[in-house]
Structure formats: C-alpha cells, structure tokens
Structure 1
Amino acid sequence: MNLLTHIGRSVLIAGAVVSLLSGCGGGSSHSADSATGSGNPLNGFWQAVGYGKIAWIDNTHITFYDYTQASCLVNERLDDVDEEDFERFFDLGSDGILALIEDGTPTFHAPSLRFQPIAGLPELCKTPSVQAGEAGYQQDWFSDYEIFWQTFSDYYLSFELKGVDWYSVRQQALTNLQDSMTQAAFLDVLYQSVQPLKDGHIAITSSDGQEVSFENKPSFISTLVQEAITQYNIAQPLSDADIETINTYVGEQLELSAEIITSYAESEVKSAANGNINWFKQGNIGYLEISGMQDFAAGDEFPASELAAIEQAMQTVLSDMSDTAGLIVDIRSNVGGNDYASMKLFSYFIQNEQLMFSKQARLGASKTALKEVRVLPANVTYHQPIVLLTSNTTASAAEVFTVGMRALPNVTLIGESTQGEFSDALEKRLPSGIVFTLSNEFYYTPEGEWLEHQGVAVDIEVPYLDRAQRQAEEDLGIETAYALLTGQL
C-alpha cells in the first residue's frame, strides 16, 4: 500500500486534483529552497527515522521522500490536501511528534509512522534523483541497484536472522549487471538478491505492474501448485497450457477444500463483511472463518468503513454463537492485511484491556522506541473455550491476531505454525519506476518473544487439508478442534 493511499483516495473523492509525481519537478509551484508557507500548523520538514522517509508539508502540498545514506528521491506528492484530510490522517502529539495514521482511524489505529521535525531537507534531497518520465532521465541499472542494495542495508530488519551476507550478495549482483540489459534481466538480478531472505513482505513490482513476492514457508497455494506440477509432469519453462492446467487444478482443490469445511455444518452457513467472515454451527460448537484482514467493506477501503463492516458482522456472529459451548476460529487461509482489523477482531474475544503486541523499527545498529498496542474489549464479547486454527499460510496481520489470541487463557492453537512474517511492508521505489517493499520492523508477542521468520507455534500439530485429507474429504483440523472442545480429546 502506498504511504498515503487513503489520503489520495479521499482527495480524489472530494473532487480535488491529486498529483502522484515521481520527481521534484512535475509542475508543482513550491520548491525545497522556497520559504515554507505559514497557513498550515504542520508546515515544515518531518523525518521518520528507521523508515527512510521525509515529509515536506507546505500548506496543502505534501511531498514524501525516500532516502538512504547515499540517495534520495521523491516517492509521492499530493496536492490540494484539505484540512479535513490533515485532521483525519495526522496527529501532532504533545511531544512534538507527528504521527501518520495510515493503519486505522484517529480513534482506533495501530502504531503509526512517527515523524520528528527537522530544520530542512538533507543535502541529497535538495537535488533528488531524476526519475523515469522526467526531463533528463537516463536509465542506469547500476545506480538503481546501488539504491536498492543500500535501502536494504540501511533498513532491513536482520540479515543475521536470515543467514545472508548482504555484502556478498552485492558482489555477485555486480558481476551480472550490464548497462544494456533489459528491465526483465535487471529484475532477475533483484530477485536473485533477495530470494535468499525468504521474506513474504519483500515484493518487487516492475514499471508495468508485474509483481513477484517470496515465501518463508510453503503456503497452501504453493503446495497445490507443486502438486499439479508433480501430478501432470510439468517441466520448466511453463507454457500457457501448463499454466492453465495448474490454475485449473488449484481452483478445483480450493473449491473442494471449501466444500469439505462446510460439510461439517449442522446449521445455515452464513457470510458477511464482503465474504471475509463466514460461520456455522456443528452441534453446540461454533465455527468462524476469518479469511482475510482487509477488504471487509466492498468497494470502500477507508478504515472507518472496514471497522464498521467488522463490527456489524461480529455482532451478528456472536449473537448466533451465544448458545455455543465453544468456538473454532479458523484463520488457516488468512494471509493478513491490516493490523487495525486484527485489533478490532481481537476485541471481541477479551474481557479486559489486553496487551496484544508491541513493535519497533530497526534504527541502524539499534531500534526505535518500543510501542505497545493495547486493546479494549468490544461491547459484545465471547468467553467460552476457543480453538484457533492456523497454518503455514497464516501470515502478517493474521499472525498479529494469533499472538494476541494465544495469550488468552481460554484459547488453544491447533494446526501448523504460522508463516513468520510480522513486519509491515515498507514501500520504496527506484528511479526506473520499479517499486519494492521490505521488512524493517520488530514485532513482539505479549510475552516479549520475537517470532519473525519462525512463526507462532501451535499446541497441537495437524496438517492443513493435505492431499490425503482432501482425498478422504475430511478436515482433521476441524475434527481435532471439535474433539477438544467437546471433551473427547
């Protein structure tokens, strides 16, 4: 997600003109050398240490810069941002820190990007890199790679955790770079550099929008893909027919998996929140699937709308589950989304204020200040025994939900350990127009554990709908959870 996706959408909806520019020119009338206007109390220069971000606010204009020790370029510019948007997305604390509320609403949000005031732009940002589409731009793959490598060097959370020598990676990449290479060939050099990190929050998107990302552990989808390749003896490179065969197989298996799960229903199967929340009863045990941590409000990504959709759905769910003796909460297919959604969902399962998680960013050889995330219970909550089903696919914001739930005394984890991808994805760009993301944050459980790369372990291990289960048309995860909640295990 772009840093100011929601601000940009808000301005567009209001009918104002938004310029998402990639350079310091582009038709804007203000410049870094001019005096900053005095009409907006937030006017000035702000730096988010640990994130390589600088915000320059000049009345209704906001320019965001990405910087490293050796580079600076404009990531995004927004024009005609009105007072309502500033109030909705920024919070100036009594400590003089400016928080960007991009993950929630002013009254309910996850820890925000925090900007400290600085006197002016660093020297490198006064003449930022010329980018594709601007006058004077010249393609330079060596320069692009150095920015890419330095960004990871400055901000990636831990090469030691991943067992990767980042300096050796650079040396290998330089032997493969050529001035005349195509973008596709250059992208392959980037892929080869970060693939050993096995980090699902690393993604690389070409200038034409093609994205490649990575996995720490094989997800359910990648497992199905490998099954198809093995079953149909498919070899590289993949033809169009091979891809169609794989997609057909994966689609059939996903449909079969859904049918197996709903076969346990002894009541109507209900759905809400744009299909992200689904539930039924099996006897006196409830089943609740949360399939994602975003897109709860169809066609509206604003956090307030997302939170409202969650609240409406969960009040209905808990009303239906009021007579159950236990609840199975299934997040095995949940690859994450927004932390504020996880926090909101978590609020329906607690009785008192709870520490859900804490986080901080890498800051050179140290870290930024630790931010604790505490959640208050919702108006209606569920207190009966709960089994939380997780899998290797469970990732990101779904793992944040997992560590909060795991700390509750009435919750047991069954399934597979989670993916191990906690950090938010920090977005950066290169002069050529290539966009990439990386992990720069440390997330901690309520007990203070750091589970990045490792994932959250379960209490009882059960494979997630492996091939044998699908062939037998059974879900051992649901069956084990049901047995535990009914006293048969």
Structure 2
Amino acid sequence: MTRTAGTARSRTGSGVGRTAAAAVALATAVGLAAPGAAAAQEGRGNPLEGVWRTEGYGLLIAVSGGQVTTYDVTAHSCLPGWVTGTQASEPGPDGTTRYTVGNLAMTLTPKGRNRAVEREESGVGTKSLTRLDALPPLCARPAPNDPLAVFDRFWEDFEENYPFFAAKGIDWHAVRDEKRPTITPATTADRLQDVFTDMLGPLGDAHTGLARVVDGHAKEVFGGQRPDSTVQTPELTARALQASAAQLTGPEQQFAGGRLGVGRLPDGLGYLRVSSFDGYTDGDFRSQVDELDRALDAVLAGPDRPTGLVVDVRLNGGGSDALGLHIAARLTDRPYVAYRKVARNDPADPTKFTRPEPVTVRPSAGGHFTGPVAVLTSSISTSAAETFTQAMTGRSPRVLRVGENTQGVFSDIMIKSLSPEFMAVLPNEKYLTRNGSTFDGPGIPPNVRTPVFTPDELAALRDSALSTARRMLTEDAQGNQSSQGDHGDQGNAENDQEQQRQEQQ
C-alpha cells in the first residue's frame, strides 16, 4: 500500500488498534521533514520542478533541486509534511523521475506542463497532481502552535478528509462545539492529547491514531479499533500458530523472518500463512517481492503441486497492497479488477470523491495456480490483509472465505503533522466493490463462519477455520460435490446483502 508522499500503510505484527503505531514508526524511520523546509522554486530544466497540489489527500508536493518535500494543507493551515525524498534516477523518456524516502520510493511523471501523476512503489493506484504557481502564502510563514490552533488543525484535518462520519453516526461539528471551549492558552500538551483521544475513540476506526513527537521520534499514544475486535497478544499468536501447525503434515517452512509460512496439509492441500504484507527484508520493495516469490514457489511450484490452497491472513495486521496483489497474480491466469479506489476530494462535501481508479490483478509472468483456494480471516485481518481478501473475491474459480469478519479498514493511512509535537493518523479513501459499495466498518464477511481464536479454541489448540477449509477444499478437489461453487454463490449473496445494508446507511 502506499506509504510515501504523506500516506502510509500499516505494518503487521502488533495487532488490531496498532496500525497508527506502524504508520508513525514509518514516519520516524524515514525521517520527519524539518519545519521550515525550503519551498520549491520552479526550474527551467526539469518539467517537474515546482509546486503541485494532489487531487484529494490535502497535500502539496514541492520539487526543487533533486528533492521532493510534502506539505499538509487545510483551508486554514499549512505545515511541512513528514516526507522528504531525494531524486534517485535520471528522468526516463517520458520524464518519469524516481525519488527515494528511506527504503521506500515514489515516481512523478509529467503529463504536459501543468499536470503530473504520482505513484508509490509499494502501493497501488496513483495520485493526480496539478501545478500551482507557487506555495500558498500560508505555507510561507510559520504556523501558530498554540493549543487552540493545534486543536483547530486536528479537527480540520478530519473534517476535510475523513469519509466515514455519516456511516459511524458521528456529528463532527457537534464534537468540535463540545470540545473547543475547553481549550485555552494554558492547555497543556497532555490535556490536548486527552481531548484528541476522546474525539477519536468513538470512531472505532483502526486507521485513526495520534502520536507525540519527542526528540525527533514519534510515539503512538492512541490507536483506534473496532469495538468487538480480538486483540492480538504474543500469547494468542503463539497458541494460534501451534494450533494451525498441528494440522500440517510436516514442519512449517518459514520465510521473511517468520512473517511467511509454508506447509502441507493432508489430501495434497497447500498452506500459506501470511502474517504480514511488509517487513520481509531490510531492503527495497523489489527485495520484498523476491522474498514473497520464494515462499510462493515453495508452496506452488515443483512436481508436488497442491490440489488446493489455504491462504491464512488471520494474524495479518497489514502492509503493502501491492504484495497482496502479487499473491493474487500467482493464483489466476486471467486479469480481473480487484477493486476501484476513490479518495475524498472536496473539503466541504464528504460525498464527493475522485474518479474511481480500477486496480487490476494481472497474471504474473511465472506459473499460476488456478485450483480451489480458501482464505482464512479474522478481526485481526486488517488493512492490506483486507484489500488482499477483497481482491480474491473477484477471482475465478471463486475463493472460499472461512472464519470471521475482517477488521473493516481499507484506506491508505495519511500521517498529518499538527505541530512540532503532535501527528494525526487518518484514512481518506474507499475501496469499492463491483456494486460501488465498501466493506469499511463491519469488514468482509466469511462465506462460512467458524470460531476464530476463541479461548476454548486456543486452550484446546483447536483450529476450526482451518479444519473447515480443509474439508471443503478436499471435497471440491475430489469432485464429490460442488462445494466451492455453491459456497461462492452463497458468498456473493451475502456480499450483496452486506453492500445493500451499507448503501442504505
């Protein structure tokens, strides 16, 4: 998923409610942009030199002297963002220029003099850019950082970008009217933090969060989550891994420092555990893909090809959408639309979004597996784990989903600077289904619901979801009954009902 130019994807391993922490850790890792970063001045040699406004996202991107700098803007504020990138290559034939931000990368491509497109290497989709004559005056002077100014900036970032107030039944204006009178010039940072946390909690959104910046390092102080979520702990993770391993016919083969696991199940089935869509290596995105391919080759390639495949994302807290699409590309021999992305695009109107951008699964150049597939999900399955699950719903033959609803957050995460001390984390996108609805909020439902990580299951080292998927895939592979097709139709009906319910909201 996208993680540069002001947006980020969650990193896995820390469970539900920790996606904000992952985004903040990322901001610290690549380096916070220094306040007062130099504004870009339009140059004569590079057509990208100058200042660009993104369509949606509340961002300006300034290009000057081989560097890009972002600015977070609202109707009444402008602060240097957390991204400063360095040009990493000479422009290509079409002017495409690559910039690096730590181990991350982004490209900018001019489309004539006044238009450009930004793409992030580990993400999917693009951002459309329009040239400005110069940085707005707000960006050219220091922003006030008194408590009331920081409160207004926080409220306005959500007011202009957050897409889900209506769906969650939150009157954001009423929240401001209640909280703003409590802020005075004497309000301490600790008190301001408490106010922000009180405002975010009712959203129940795992892609919202708050961080404090101390000595150049950002630390999460709040991360949202859906109220009925399972909280991932080291103890739960250890027991869950033991329970699934008990059904394998041999030891699990691990990749990516244990984030990926490959094994064999009875009746010729393959097992792929994906506990993260990030952090596979310490290198760039290409090295992440290579490590993922190693795991995929271990389960799919060679003479011992599986009769069916179980992909387990129940312990997956997110990462890169592109890595999820890479798995999908190994599991199909025909292209199809995974989803369509839109971003909120009018600060004054929460119903207006950018034009839907199709994101397509394209068969990989190597071998493909087109047999029956089951995906195991839980409420811990968050962010990129959910966009992967959504991408798999368009696959043919249909994919069986077993377990429980995913967490219900799909958007890339935006990290917004509030002051030298505070950063906010929030979403601004929707990942649309074929019917134009989303699974934001309740998450993607399973076709077959089973217990997942319950105390009884963990105590007995029992894994009902994996047992159910094994049984159904075996029946389908043996041709005893068309269980996958039947349940795929059932899943479509359930999806349609869920989409209609959300549309009515």
Aligned to 1:87: 98
Q: Output the CA distance in 1 between the equivalents of 2:359 and 2:378.
A: 24
* Residue matched to 2:388: 401
The question of whether the paired residues in 2 share the 8 Å contact of 1:39 and 1:59 is answered with no
Aligned residue number for residue 429 of structure 1: 417
**Alpha-carbon distance in 2 for matches of 1:373, 1:112:** 10
TM-score by length of 2: 0.80
Q: 1:22 aligns with which of 34, 39, 43?
A: 34
Name the counterpart of 1:201.
207
User: By how many angstroms is 1:276 displaced?
Assistant: 1.9
Q: Which residue of 2 aligns with 1:257?
A: 240
Residue in 2 that maps onto 1:384: 371
Question: How has the CA–CA distance of structure 1 residues 3 and 91 changed in structure 2, closer, same or farther, with 3 Å as cutoff?
Answer: closer
Report the counterpart of residue 78 of structure 2 in structure 1: 72
1:374 and 2:360 correspond = yes
The 3-state SS of whatever aligns with 2:98 is helix
Report the more deviating stretch, 304-313 or 165-174: 304-313
Please give the per-residue CA displacement for 1:125-164, whole angstroms capped at 9, x wherever unaligned: 232415xxxxxxxx51111000010111111113101110
Give the secondary-structure state (helix, strand or coil) at the position aligned to 1:477.
helix
Shift of 1:190: 0.4
Secondary structure of the residue aligned to 1:178 is: coil
Does residue 1:318 correspond to 2:332, yes or no? no
Matches of 1:49 and 1:187 in 2, distance apart? 30
Give yes or no for contact 2:374–2:402 (8 Å, CA) kept in 1: yes
Over 3 Å counting, the alpha-carbon distance change for 1:334 and 1:21 in structure 2 is: closer
Change (3 A) 1:319 1:268: farther
Residue 486 (1) aligns with residue 474 (2):
yes
Letter in 1 for 2:243: I
SS at match of 1:220: coil
User: Do residues 116 (structure 1) and 130 (structure 2) align?
Assistant: yes
1:356, 1:446 within 8 Å by CA — same for their partners in 2? no
Match of 2:272 in 1: 288
Q: Supply the distance in 2 between the matched residues of 1:165 and 1:61 (Cα, whole angstroms).
A: 40
* Rg larger in structure: 1
Q: 2:292 & 2:183 partners in 1: Cα distance? A: 48
**CA distance 1:482–1:21, change in 2 (3 Å):** closer
How far has the Cα of 1:100 moved from its partner? 2.5
Secondary structure, aligned partner of 2:421: coil
* Other-structure match for 1:266: 249
Q: Which residue of 2 aligns with 1:3?
A: 5
In the superposition, relative to structure 1, how do residues 272 and 469 fare at CA in structure 2: closer, same or farther (>3 Å)? same
Shift of 1:216: 1.8
- Going from structure 1 to structure 2, the CA distance change for 1:440 and 1:459 (only over 3 Å counts) comes to same
Distance in 1 separating the partners of 2:388 and 2:236: 27
Q: Secondary structure of the equivalent of 1:164?
A: coil
Between stretches 173-182 and 265-274, larger displacement belongs to 173-182
Question: Pick from 150, 153, 156: which aligns with 1:147?
Answer: 153
Once residues 280 and 424 of structure 1 are traced to their aligned partners in structure 2, the CA distance between those partners, rounded to angstroms, is 31
Which letter does structure 1 place at the counterpart of 2:155? W
The percentage of counterpart residues that share the same residue type is 26
- CA shift at 1:401, angstroms? 0.7
CA 1:321–1:442: 2 relative to 1, 3 Å: farther
Q: What 5-or-longer segments of structure 2 have no aligned partner?
A: 9-29, 92-96, 100-105, 484-505
CA-based RMSD of the aligned residues comes to 2.4
Supply the distance in 2 between the matched residues of 1:435 and 1:262 (Cα, whole angstroms).
40
The higher relative CO (CA closer than 8 Å, separation ≥ 6) is in: 2
Which deviates further from its counterpart, 439-448 or 91-100?
91-100
Q: Specify the alignment match of 1:359 in structure 2.
A: 341
